[in-house]
Amino acid sequence: MIKKIACVALLFLSFLGCKTSMPIAGNSEKPKKEKSDLKSYKEVITSNAKTDEGLFKTHMVGDKLYFEIPMDILDKDMLWVSRIAGVPSGFGGGYVNAGSKVNEQVVRWTKRNGNIDVKVMSFENQSEEESPIYQSVRANNFYPILYSSKIETYSADSSSVVIEVNSMFEEEIQAINGISSRLRKEYKVKKLDQSRSYIESAHAYPKNIEIKHVMTYEAEEPPERGQAGTITMQMNQSMILLPEEKMQPRLADYRVGWFTIDKYDYDSDKLKSDDYEIIRRWQLVPKDIEAYKRGELVEPVKPIVYYLDPATPIKWRPYFKKGIEDWNVAFEEAGFKNAIIAKDPPTKEEDPEFSPEDVRYSVVRYVASTTRNAVGPSVSDPRTGEIIESDIIWYHNHLRSYRNRFMIEAGAQNPDARSLDTPEEEIGEMMRMVIAHEVGHALGLPHNMKASSAYPVDSLRSAEFTRKYGLTPSIMDYARVNYVAQPEDEDVRYIRMMGPYDLYAINWGYRYLPEANSPEAEKNTLNKWILEKAGNRWYEFGGGYDGVDPNSQRESLGDDNVKASTYGLENLKKVVPNLAEWTTKDGEDYEDLEEVYRELNYMWRGYVGHVITNVGGVYETRKTSDQAGAIYEPVPSTIQKNAVKFLNQEAFSTPEWLLNKDILNRIESSGAIARVQQMQTRVLQELMEKDRLMRLVSNEENQGNKAYTAVELMRDLRRGLFGELFAGRQTDAYRRNVQRSYIDIASAYVNQLKTSKDDEILKSDIMALMRGELKNLRSEIARRKNASSHALTRYHWDDLMARIDMALETES
């Protein structure tokens, strides 16, 4: 079998101009001339050296760091992971912390005459070594040299080469430092101060090298003023030897969600490079393959192990460990038992060198930070997609997010949510599911925002259903709290949990197929599993980031956005009158009340946003060409029309329930009118955005009289937004604001005739649509403006007519 290699696996042989007398990897002979120019080993590595032995030796001689690299390590693939180990307060706006990965790359240490170079390898472009095009692939993927150091000496038996590497860690090499170009610009970083930058420690382990070093920068505007024009950070550099026996990659399929690595095969018979993706996953191989074949649950040769950070509070550790090991249920679906294990941090006696930055350990990091978030990154072998290591990051103040959300979305229904001192059992369960979600990412699973739309909305009001199936088929969805359940619904589950999609996806990605000796040999089996679930919405995948498919949205629940948001708003309306009581204590201020109330406003905005996506929305069902039916289908007109009706009633009417004076008089002197105007204007802007209107026009062409049209949208909006005009009623300040916003948005389109360079708008039907709507509205205002006896209302109608006239004059 011809060996498949990535890009230019032997590039250095043909491009370095090596002479036959030069040593190559695995050859301990040194040229006589080179040997005579070098110091002896004992002159370089003196008796004062502090040596650590492992993958290769590290020697600290005074403040000098030497690497003693065996010849048989040269030209082998090593994964280099750069992480921040210590960070100044406020750095990166709170989302950069100790443990944050800043780069990962594959490198090779290679010998060039009297130097050792560190080359950065690429495995994206591929060709067979014996293929004619291989020459072009390697010539057009020339490897960059990250670092170079002259050879200081050889070991006594000439089996290793010794280099000094201080400049690698004490000078600035962009590919391994912790300040991105964006932050460099933001903090006005001038330069690295080498006098305050140094190597702190070097440790060698059997398969990896760990270096800690401190970098100090001069900066005109550091994150905080008290930092005296200085940014000092501690970096950790991990170098891990990648396995020579590579894991068999698994080809990705966009119908099942996985993080992937792009590949380009230039040996393809297609009239282009063969572009494909492989999934990122841990390597799990059953200990007993024959038992595995018989369908027995078998432990993997090497399980996935996560350690808790020593900084993790003791009372939260059981919940963290449960969140990690919850995935064993999914791995059992793939035929493995005890596939993932959670461990407490080792004591000093058990492992004196344990470090969360050490690439040998996957750790759930507990970060003392006001940031309200959690993330689940991983490090993978770009050759095969094998995940090597992962660090989950939990920010301390993420507890605050869940405490607030639980009160806002479940306070009307669940007595446990009616306090800022959320019971430990409830907050612990939330933490457990957050950790499980982030571990899911670290196992290779991206967000599946489509999952929640698979369950009927009213099923989320059922105790039996929610306790068995959770809130969504996948914990990888954003569906954190059951806001659909109503106060009369008893014993329902309020917190998300793992679901059937998660088991299906893990089985698809991790089941070991012993009879398949290549990625291509697995395809039929993998495709069969997908087709077996086709048509069952519980097993569909959708990323949810394009804002087009209403079934793929963050934080939404159920298969009917209007019904779910109606339930959610009913609960919010019950929560608001109680917020002052639930968030305050005698002798304390109203800071918590203000925070929770403002977050409740965001929830209102989210529920409304879920409904907006239905207007001009298009359902996406991922399929391949061998499956019947269309991939894209416009949302039915009845659903779109119902969505606009909801928006007129809930988004554009004055939200009296939200304007609770008992709250507002405690948290602000003014601002409610402007805040509501801002929220309603954003809703209008989204509803009248260019792409949505163009989809409506396109759908009308494709569907004919079945479509909900752009003209219908504008007509329904006009009738809803200007209801007072048609009824001859007085308008309040909130309604006047949203009516002005409508005129301003429509006018902005028309005004683009003179100011815009957006040909897509200028040549579309949007101009005609907006001009026609403005003319119709002006005519209605002129005919009805004096029906109201309220003077300010009449002035308002006159003002709107003037605004329309100004916009329409654009064309004259």
Q: What are the structure tokens assigned to 461, written together?
A: 């009001």
SS3 127: strand
DSSP 220: S
Rounded Cα distance, 664 and 670, in Å: 8
- By C-alpha distance, which of 660, 460, 633 is closest to 563? 460
Mean per-residue pLDDT, 6-27: 36
E strands, 22-122, are 50-52, 57-61, 64-70, 78-86, 101-112, 115-121
Q: pLDDT at position 268, please?
A: 52
pLDDT at 131 over 70: no
Residue 603 · residue 409 · CB < 8 Å? yes
Rounded Cα distance, 673 and 654, in Å: 10
Q: Where exactly are the structural domains of the chain?
A: 4-241, 289-559, 611-811
SS3 590: coil
| Residue 346 buriedness (CB in 10 A; 0-12 / 13-18 / 19+) | middle
Confidence of residue 142 (pLDDT cuts 50, 70, 90): low
Higher-pLDDT residue of 359 and 85 is 85
- Residues whose CB is less than 8 angstroms from the CB of residue 738 and which lie 6 or more positions away in sequence, other chains included: 652, 677, 680, 681, 684, 721
Portion of the chain with pLDDT greater than 90, in percent: 72
Helical ranges in 97-240 per DSSP H = 134-139, 166-170, 181-186
Helical ranges in 283-362 per DSSP H = 289-293, 317-325, 328-333
Residue 87 · residue 97 · CB < 8 Å? yes
- Residues whose CB is less than 8 angstroms from the CB of residue 35 and which lie 6 or more positions away in sequence, other chains included: 154
- By C-alpha distance, which of 400, 429, 427, 316 is closest to 364? 316
Rounded Cα distance, 756 and 751, in Å: 8
Rounded Cα distance, 107 and 37, in Å: 28
Q: pLDDT at position 596, please?
A: 96
Q: pLDDT at position 15, please?
A: 33
pLDDT tens digits, one per residue of 684-698: 999 999 999 999 999
Cβ neighbours around 669 below 10 Å, total: 6
Rounded Cα distance, 347 and 350, in Å: 5
Report the predicted TM-score, pTM, of the whole model to 2 decimal places.
Answer: 0.87
- Residues whose CB is less than 8 angstroms from the CB of residue 506 and which lie 6 or more positions away in sequence, other chains included: 327, 330, 331, 333, 334, 443, 445
C-alpha distance across the termini of the chain, in Å: 75
pLDDT tens digits, one per residue of 373-424: 788 888 899 899 999 999 888 887 788 889 999 999 999 999 999 999 999 9
pLDDT at 30 over 80: no
User: Which amino acid is present at 60?
Assistant: M
pLDDT at 622 over 90: yes
Cβ neighbours around 483 below 10 Å, total: 30
Q: How many residues does the chain have?
A: 812
Helical ranges in 384-518 per DSSP H = 398-410, 424-443, 463-469, 500-510
Mean per-residue pLDDT, 220-248: 88
Q: How many helices (H) and strands (E) does the chain have?
A: 27, 24
Q: pLDDT at position 729, please?
A: 93
Confidence of residue 545 (pLDDT cuts 50, 70, 90): confident
Mean pLDDT in the chain? 89
